[in-house]
Every structure is written in C-alpha cells, then in structure tokens.
Amino acid sequence: MDIRYNCSLLQHNTFGMDVSCACFVSYGSAEELAGFFSAGRQFSLPKPFLHIGRGSNLLFTGDFPGTVFHSDIRFVRELPGKDGKVRIEVGAGTAWDDVCGWCAGHGLWGTENLSGIPGETGAAAVQNIGAYGVEFKDIVSGVCCFDAVTCSLKTIRKDDCHYGYRDSVFKQSAKGRYVVTSVILELSPDAGPVLDYGHVRAAVDKRMQEMPETTLSPGLVRSVILDIRNSKLPDPSETGNAGSFFKNPVVPRSSFGRVENYARSKYGPEYVVPHYDAGSGFVKIPAAWLIEQCGWKGYSAGNAGVYAKQPLVLVNLTGKARPEEIIALEKKITASVLDIFGITLIPEVEHI
C-alpha cells in the first residue's frame, strides 16, 4: 500500500477543485487491500474513508479530513466464454475508455456506446454509467468486491447490484461497505449495434456513406460516439467538469402538464417538449432543456459556468473555481427550475 499524508486532490477530481485530503492510500491488488484491512491497519488512518476512481463524478466541497483510497488495479483479461458470449474481467482502476478501446479492438460488441466516458471501471459499476441507449448494467454479469464488513473478497451477481438510472446497491444500502476491485463483462462477437438514441443511427449511416469500404463494427460505432461526445461535452483535461451535473428528472404526467403549458404559451400550441416515457404514468424530461429554458446556457459567474453546448454540465471555466462558486451556481439553477417548472433537480454529481 502506498500511504501519503496531506495530499493535494487536484489531480484526482476532473472538476479541478484545488483541495486536499489528510491521507491518500493507493493499492495494486484486491489481495493487498484485503490484507491491509484484515491486519487492522486501517485503524491508524484518519477518518472518514472515501474510495474514489478518477474523481470524474464528484464535487469536493472543501478539504477532505479523512483518508482517500484509490485503486491502481489495472488489467483486462479474457475469461472462459459462456453461451456464445465473450467474458472479460477488468480491474477497477482501469480507465473506462481503455476498456471500450480494448473491446472495439477485439471486435466485441457491448461497450461501444459507452466510449469516451471519463473515469475508471470501478466507478462505472457503482454509478451504472450510461450513454446513447446503453447502460453499464446491460453488459455486466458480476462485480468483484472487497467487503469491509467481513474483510473478505466476494463477487456480487448483477441481479444483486440493483441497478437503476445512475444508481446501484453500492450507492444505497451497501454504501461504504463494498469496494469494487474488478468487474466481469459479457460481450458479443456478433453484431449487436444499439443505434436508436437521438441521431446516432443517422451519424453512423453518414459515416458509412462517406467511407463505403467500411463495415458496421464496434470500432466504427465507437468512433462515431466519440465524435458526438467531443462535439457536445467539454474535455475535462481542458475545462474542469464532472459530466452531467444533474440527473434527468422523472416526474408524474401531471407535473409534465405544467411544463407543456409553459412551453406552448412560449412557443405555440404545436411545440413538443422533449421527453421519454418512463412507465407507470411517469415521464423523464431532459434537465438540459429545463436549464436552457431558464436562461442558463452559456452563463458564467466568476470562475464557474454553464457549458454553452450542453447546459447540463457545469464547468470550472478558468481552472480556478472554488467549490463554493460551483455550489452557488448549482443553487441558483435548482431554484429557478423549481420556480418556473415546479421540478426539483437532483444532482448526479456526488458532493463530498
């Protein structure tokens, strides 16, 4: 275990918050982590404990008084296949996009729509990352963890992960108990593109027309998805951000009626508010649309801002934003969406 005290967290959060932690611990294998806890060595470390990946979905609200753990477990290995599927195990500290690149390079379908999502594989399993019609839950079969309660290593089956929209057992009842050490993915060598989200199919068709010699492959879809993302989302290595700051709200149809009334009075009776059926009388509304309607798109206040191409993303405009500036902006946006639409936006980014 590598243990360091009074460490900067600047390189460990994509928002670029210049904060520190009392202690930072990194480890290279599940066995090393289990051995450390079994020997009771954690008792000498400052509390509380926090396990992070690349820090791409969190906002440090100030210096962290405890110990931050980080996995350096990085590998991709093939396991024996099952039912025509190719199974791979991926270490929690492996950059997620490297996994997508590996799969595309091996002609395997499953991860391509999740290409370009910043962060590491362990966090992908906790957060149930999703993009362009695919979620992590669609390709995972098991999550290997260290159980801090029993001090043992175990594999949790997908069904027991209770995956939901950006949600899992690791964020709910088992929060703080399990540390993801690796994940097992099931991928397919047979063509299985998911192209029905937004303009993905049109973009893939266009690419194939431009390059008639190309065949539909995971690599082609990956490349189109990366282009779409790059055109809409800020690169955290250039502009600090943590992806979507808010979740897309799921509201009862009655609440949606208020949104429709607002839009029709503003844009005319034919206007259709973007929304998706969420079942059982509920609809999901893009938070980006709600935020844009409230006039925040491209807004800036000091070092913090709302990304001009995708208002769901708050950005550290100058690289010098303090947590308070981001939080002040978050509060203003939340208050105005509540005021105009009666909808409470819930942050997707975890506040630490």
Do residues 25 and 1 lie in contact, with contact meaning Cβ atoms separated by under 8 Å? yes
- E-strand spans in the chain? 2-8, 20-27, 49-52, 58-59, 64-71, 76-82, 85-91, 130-131, 134-135, 140-147, 152-157, 178-187, 240-244, 250-252, 276-277, 282-284, 300-301, 304-306, 313-316, 350-351
Catalytic residue status for 32: no
Determine if 132 is a binding residue for ligand EPU (CB under 6 A): yes
- Of the candidates 29, 292, 301, 338, which one interacts with ligand EPU according to CB under 6 A? 292
Counting contacts by CB under 6 A, is residue 286 touching ligand EPU? yes
Active-site residue identified among 166, 168, 186, 330: 166
Residues 265 and 284: their CA atoms lie apart, in Å, by 21
Q: Contact between 289 and ligand EPU (CB under 6 A)?
A: yes
d(CA 273, CA 263): 7
Q: Is 101 in the site for ligand EPU (CB under 6 A)?
A: no
CA angle 21, 25, 30 (to 5 degrees): 145
Q: Is 311 in the site for ligand EPU (CB under 6 A)?
A: yes
3-state secondary structure (DSSP) of residue 136: helix
For 118, which DSSP code? -
Determine, following the binding rule CB under 6 A, whether residue 348 of this chain makes contact with ligand EPU: yes
Residue 259 lies near ligand EPU (rule: CB under 6 A): no
Taking CB under 6 A as the criterion, the residue among 195, 248, 326, 333 binding ligand EPU is: 248
> Residue 138 in contact with residue 125, Cβ under 8 Å?
no
Q: Considering only residues 174 through 203, tell me which ones interact with ligand EPU, judged by CB under 6 A.
A: 197-198
Name the minimum Å distance from CB 130 to ligand EPU: 6
How many Cβ atoms sit within 10 Å of the Cβ of residue 330? 19
Answer yes or no: 166 catalytic: yes
Q: Does 263 bind ligand EPU (CB under 6 A)?
A: no
CB atoms within 10 A of CB 72: 14
Q: Is 260 a residue that touches ligand EPU (CB under 6 A)?
A: no
Of residues 212 through 241, those in contact with ligand EPU by CB under 6 A are: 232-233
Site size toward ligand EPU, by CB under 6 A: 20
Residue of 56, 115, 182, 244 with catalytic role: 244
The answer to whether 50 and 65 have CB atoms below 8 angstroms apart is: no
Smaller CB separation from ligand EPU, 109 or 245: 245
Residues carrying an active site annotation = 166, 244, 348
Which residues sit at the interface with ligand EPU, rule CB under 6 A? 131-132, 197-198, 232-233, 243-244, 247-248, 274, 286, 288-289, 292, 297, 310-312, 348
